[in-house]
Amino acid sequence: MSRGSVVAKRYAKALFQLALEKGLVVETEAQLKLIVEVVESNADVRAFLTAPNITLEAKKQTLLQAFGTQVSPIVLNLVGLLIERGRDGELAAVLAAYLQVAGEKLGRADAEVVSFQPMTDGEQSKLADKFGALLGKSVRVSNSVNPNLLGGLTVRIGDTLYDGSLRGKLDRLDKTLQASTK
């Protein structure tokens, strides 16, 4: 495990404990996602947070003004602490670790589903039920589209990839045929 992921997991566990104590587990997740999305999608924000000539206090105050009403104090304190310690680049890793920690404690798993075309809510619900029964957890599905799959879908839950795509089946068939001709 890399040093960064160990550090991110420590911060995530501490944040989860605080959120659990305050009954804000789901809200904390949403707020942390919001901050990560803003930081990851905006180069100016990233440059501001990493600029050495801007004081830590100015960075914290700017974040407080930008997110103060939308984000709880525990999330703002975490982000401030990461900035203070020069670990603002770990924000996305802390979010990923928080999702993992919260999922383990709450019996929940996140499934990243890639399909040939967008899935309906009913299809996502059926898929969540099937994988939920398989894993013994409640499963949340997020769907993205990749037309290169040709059909079917792939499901990633944690480190496990379930490949039910037509592209994957064709690739496996090709490997089998290649191996049989040798």
Digit-coded pLDDT (tens) for 138-171: 898 989 999 888 888 999 988 888 988 888 888 8
Q: Are residues 150 and 96 in the same domain?
A: no
**Cα–Cα distances in angstroms (integers) from residue 67 to residues 38, 44, 57, 104, in the given order:** 10, 16, 15, 28
Question: CATH no. for residue 30?
Answer: 1.10.520.20
Digit-coded pLDDT (tens) for 59-70: 888 888 888 778
Calpha distance 113→20 (Å, rounded): 28
Number of folded domains in the chain?
A: 2
**Cα–Cα distances in angstroms (integers) from residue 110 to residues 37, 106, 113, 156, 163, in the given order:** 18, 12, 9, 8, 16
Calpha distance 104→109 (Å, rounded): 8
Last residue of a domain, one of 58, 80, 103: 103
Calpha distance 149→50 (Å, rounded): 38
Reference 80, options 97, 96, 61; nearest CA is 61
CB 165 within 8 A of CB 153: yes
Q: Are residues 76 and 140 in the same domain?
A: no
Q: Are residues 95 and 151 in the same domain?
A: no
Which pTM value belongs to this model?
0.70
Calpha distance 121→114 (Å, rounded): 14
In this structure, the strands spanning 108-115 and 153-157 are: antiparallel
Q: Are residues 71 and 124 in the same domain?
A: no
